[in-house]
Amino acid sequence: MPEVKVPELAESITEGTIAEWLKQVGDSVDKGEAIVELETDKVNVEVVSEEAGVLQELLADEGDTVVVGQAIAVVGEGSGNNTSESSTKQEDTKATDNSNKEQQSSESSESNESTESKSEASSQDNGQRVNATPSARKYAREKGIDLSEVSPSSNDVVRKSHVDQSQKQSNTQQSQPAAKEETKKPAQQNPSKPVIREKMSRRKKTAAKKLLEVSNNTAMLTTFNEIDMTNVMDLRKRKKEQFIKDHDGTKLGFMSFFTKAAVAALKKYPEVNAEIDGDEMITKQYYDIGVAVSTEDGLLVPFVRDCDKKNFAEIEDEIGNLAKKARDKKLGLDDMVNGSFTITNGGIFGSMMSTPIINGSQAAILGMHSIITRPIAIDADTIENRPMMYIALSYDHRIIDGKEAVGFLKTIKELIENPEDLLLES
């Protein structure tokens, strides 16, 4: 029978975790239809069936780690259920037909139907089985729990969560006598502090591992500068209405200014656009700029490609599209790999200053922060309140010297404070 295998994901991704089975055994499957959601280090990927038919067997459970090329399901010929609920409804109907029809009270009838359905599900003589997912069956076997004693929500299929709930109820009942005895001991009178213990998602574990690797394997330093945002804010204010009209509703934000300034600075200081590979240094001749996006699942860094060839409106459009895809969990692997430099904006959360961590194998990352009005000395005799932003460059000192790092930030500062020059650079 045709097997569904984990497809090639990306050059740096060799495995993933079964996040959710979208189809269950017995369900009909169309060619090209998604049957499982796979969680990888970067994004979630839907795996599709290459054949039409019926899902015959699941070879991996939710939460299992699978590798590229591994068979995870078997699809056979025939036509199956449209959903797993249809099978449940059929079993419920059979149970109802076998119930005591002589009862006149509807409440008694429902009680008898429920009792008979449970007895049929637990009986070995009539061949009936509790309707449960493969992962729930395996989980129940590992825990030594009888599925017939597990009550699903409504008439739903028994899932791992139902098995967990049943086990917790059983443990609670068993521990009640012991708990009463423990309350007599003075040392146990004060309950422990409340905590929530949960397994980290694959993405969080991977992010933690990579961030630690960056910290351990790079000579990372951070240098700072500050930017007077007066001129760029005035320019945006003057041009924003016309910009929206000229570019079909696209707004002129700060990110396009900093992205174009970063490209100009990278051209001037190419070491910042490099990375170390073994005993070689690779200097990139392209400008794919990563823009950090905050989502419910954590921070993601999709890349805006060829920023040196895009104008302000194209960059703003692309940033907006990537941010929406990130929030909707629609980012593809192609959006997340092979970038050359990253910009992160902690200012949207109110950060005044930070030391960002380098992204992956890149050599540096630019950190933007909040715009705060502060008194600034214009000259020896004049002080004015100006909108100021601190910027930070974290960099790998093995590739980039302090002179280049300071010069890079100074270039960013000069271009943002003189946005007309930035337009000429573009």
Residues identified as active-site:
397, 401
Residue 403, token pair as written in the block: 């002179």
Eight-class DSSP state of 335: G
CB 307 within 8 A of CB 13: no
Select from 52, 50, 48, 47 the least CA-distant residue to 30: 52
- Give residues with Cβ within 8 angstroms of 404, minimum separation 6: 269, 271, 272
- Give residues with Cβ within 8 angstroms of 65, minimum separation 6: 15, 16, 17
CA-to-CA distance for 305 and 369, rounded, in angstroms? 24
**CA separation (Å) from 197 to 140, 192, 194, 200?**
22, 14, 10, 9
Following DSSP, what letter does each residue of 188-224 receive, concatenated? Answer: GSSPPPP----PPPHHHHHHHHHHHHHHHHS-EEEEE
Measured at the CA of 184, the angle between CA 181 and CA 188, to 5 degrees, comes to 95
Residue 134 backbone phi and psi in degrees, to 5: -55, -40
CA-to-CA distance for 109 and 346, rounded, in angstroms? 62
